Amino acid sequence: MMAVLAAATAAGATAATAPIKAPAPAAKATAVAAPSGYHAVLRRTAYGAPHITASNYAGLGYGAGYAAAQDNICDLADRMLTVNAQRARYLGPGDKNANVVSDLYHQRLIQSGRLEQLLNADPKSLERPSADARALVRGFAAGINRYVRDTGVANLPVACKGAAWVRPYSEKDIWRVSLAGQQPNQLAGVAGASPPGGPEPIGAGPIDGGPSNIPPGQGSNAYALGREVTKTGHGVLLGNPHYPWDGINRFTRLHLIIPGKLNIVGAGLENSPVVGIGHNQWVAWSHTVSTARRFGYFELTLDPKDPTAYVFDGKSVPMTRIKVTVQVKTDKGLIPVTRTYYDTRFGPMVKTPLTPWTKERAYALRDAPVNLRGTDQYLAMWQAHTVHELAAALSKYQGATFNTTAVDAGGEAFFGDIGSLPYVTDAKAAACATSPAGKKAWADNRVPVLDGSKSACDWESDPHAATGGIFPASAEPQIFRSDFTENSNDSYWLSNPNQPLSGYGRIFGDEATARSLRTRLGLKMIADRVAGGDGLGAPKFDLKSLEGVVFNDRNLGAEMTRDDLVGLCRKEAAGAHPELAKACAALAGWDLHVNLDSRGAQVFRLFAEKGGLKFRVGFDARDPINTPNTLDTDDPAVLKALVEAVKQLDALHIPLDAPLAAVQSEPRGGERIPIHGGPGPEGIFNVITPAKPVDGGWTKIVHGSSWIMAVEFTDKGPVSQGVLTYSQSTNPASPHFGDQTELYSRKGWDDLRFTEAAVKAGALSTIVLDEKPAKP
């Protein structure tokens, strides 16, 4: 069987390229019939930004689904293929059988019945989505289906044109996407779990559980600027997630309006009808990746007579067996692949190099946030008038899997890591993470690996929490301020240096430890702007100055070390390393930014990547923004990194003094679009993480600034602008495949057009989706 799978060729689809078309001209409203009583008006303004107006949530979902399919139908269909465990059936086994592993994992989720349990939970329970939430999701599925019917599968974009795997979707399909997206990145560990003597893992896949929740290159920045630091005394917000430029976690712009009831604008993930980062009339918010651990393991003591039974409170408990079969496309037709998986009272068994399954020990995975509460949480957040009301919504549902940073029109700022976090105190970990594996995981990574042999080591519960096994919201880090809150993916501790948050358990994050260079730069830029010392005009923030701060493209690591590095470089160039002479000149002439016209940034980039940022002065908790500092030129790693950086640049024919525009770009429609920004670890706030360099430079962006949103509340209401760096559509034939990428390259912004009047005035196209309910 494995030989057959290894030999089979995956039938994956690749996107073609086409020239970028001009923006669509203004058009008269066209009527498109819609089934099942849905009604919505879809207007598109500049850059393809969709604005949906409807009288209820079902209509909003319908319009949002239609717009999402217009922009990204192939991404949507591909995601549906994944969560319904059908990748291998249609696309073949994939590289290293990745599609088979994915399908086994997701089929196990399907057979667990968790989705049905949540949808059919007690109507009084928060676990059961409300009628409005279900209407929104049901409408979203219907809108996608309508677009596909109108267009025809044969006329879809090249990536899914005529594909047999594009089909009608249901409300449950959309919920399944939501549920699958909350799972920890343990796909291979769960799909490959088998007892001693069982089948070998079918293929490789991602395994989480390492030292960080943040995938390399991903993360976010967020500013909530309160009345003490803004020019008008109203709130100002920056939302700046750093998410993938391709794949399932792409953002899409979205504006939802129910006249007289709801007006919410911003962006959300492309496979959802939810504005996840945005603002209403009174409150604006963003999210950043949290350092808190939202999952854990239980170390099982196995029954000596049976490795599929474990000891719990002195009794042998058999694991629940789940037989899973998926179909795999090969050159000989469909081949069934079957595996048996095992569940415990804690969750599924997992098998990785860090969590082996032996005759004596094995590990079960428990994930805190597996729920559908998030949609209702956002519906409540959308109605908030103050940050206190927004925090109350977060606290009620505890559905967030990220930090939340927010500000209101009255100028009060908020930060909170409020969500479903395992109720594992430091005392619980000390008492129950007692094995060598448990102690190491807790000490090194703050991941709880608890003794699964006794009930006393289970996660605690609190009646005030949204569900069992998690901390109540009142015990989770949060702060309200009238000056500001900030987060750039470090822990809650320094959300505001004037009021450090402390005293929380290790599972939430670390305290009184060094912050990243990106966090430190974010805080420095706030101080510089408040003092008016950054060259952006009078002190304090407004919309224009905030946008200037985001796109100033400073590099804190370089600001702290460049001069000392040049000194070392010149010394060595005059002696043992004459090949460094050009690098010395490039670094000396560099403006310490990552603007398109910045020359020499590429030398420092590879120097930092190769471990050259070694500091002489260590961290001091009394001065966390300014320490550590001072390049340790006596450390041999510094010179070694510089020499290796120059060697690699020469080998790749990347000129050491070329402007960044010439060596860093993103392809769109056969063109290369120069991209400013750079990797966060160097101390760059505007994060851009490219793929590994090739001959001539960095030619593809992987992660980085994605949805960038700036909001200022005024006496006349909110004013907001934004840019979706990779553009609204993944369809190479769309006029919105690269237009916002070009806008980002120019450091431009687009008006979000919050009011209905602004939307109508800027509409370039209008589609009316309307039909009376079908007669029974």
Task: Quote the percentage of the chain above a pLDDT of 70.
Answer: 92
C-alpha–C-alpha distance, residues 536 and 547, integer Å = 10
204-255 pLDDT, tens digit per residue, is 544 333 334 445 556 899 999 999 999 999 999 999 999 999 998 999 999 9
567, 584 contact by CB (below 8 A): no
* Span of 212-221, 336-345, 423-432 with lowest mean pLDDT: 212-221
Q: Which residue has the higher pLDDT, 82 or 201?
A: 82
Mean pLDDT, residues 561-582: 98
Pairing relation of β-strands 717-724 and 219-225?
Answer: unpaired
Q: Which residues are catalytic?
A: 220
Nearest CA-CA partner of 405 in 413, 415, 395? 415
Grouping H, G, I as helix, E, B as strand and the rest as coil, residue 706 is coil
454-500 pLDDT, tens digit per residue, is 999 999 999 999 999 999 999 999 999 999 999 999 999 999 999 99
**Which tokens hold the place of 330?**
């090969």
- What are the Cα distances from residue 293, in Å, to 218, 402, 459, 466? 17, 11, 13, 17
Query: With b meaning 16 or more CB within 10 Å and e meaning fewer, what string describes 409-446?
Result: bbbbbbbbbbbbbbbbbeebbeebbbeebbeebbeebb
Q: What DSSP assignment string belongs to 635-681?
A: SHHHHHHHHHHHHHHHHTT--TT-BHHHHBEEEETTEEEE---B-GG
Q: Which residue has the higher pLDDT, 204 or 656?
A: 656
Grouping H, G, I as helix, E, B as strand and the rest as coil, residue 390 is helix
3-16 pLDDT, tens digit per residue, is 334 333 333 332 22
| Per-residue pLDDT at 180 | 86
Mean pLDDT, residues 244-273: 97
Pairing relation of β-strands 50-53 and 39-44?
Answer: antiparallel
Task: Quote the percentage of the chain above a pLDDT of 90.
Answer: 89
| Per-residue pLDDT at 24 | 39
| Residue recorded with tokens 């100002």 | 236
Instruction: Report the mean per-residue pLDDT for the chain.
Output: 93
745-774 pLDDT, tens digit per residue, is 999 999 999 999 999 999 999 999 985 665
Mean pLDDT, residues 687-709: 98
Nearest CA-CA partner of 414 in 392, 383, 398? 392
| Residue recorded with tokens 């950054």 | 534
Q: Which residue has the higher pLDDT, 540 or 13?
A: 540
The pLDDT-based confidence of 187 (bands split at 50, 70, 90) is: confident
Q: Where are the beta strands (DSSP E) in 497-613?
A: none
Mean pLDDT, residues 352-370: 92
Mean pLDDT, residues 381-394: 98
Query: With b meaning 16 or more CB within 10 Å and e meaning fewer, what string describes 98-107?
Result: bbbbbbbbbb
pLDDT surpassing 80 at residue 203: no
| Per-residue pLDDT at 5 | 45
| Per-residue pLDDT at 18 | 28
| Per-residue pLDDT at 567 | 98
C-alpha–C-alpha distance, residues 305 and 384, integer Å = 57
**Which tokens hold the place of 574?**
């005059």
Mean pLDDT, residues 60-89: 98
Burial class (CB within 10 angstroms; exposed 0-12, middle 13-18, buried 19+) of 108: buried
Phi and psi at residue 609, to the nearest 5°: -60, -30
Mean pLDDT, residues 568-597: 98
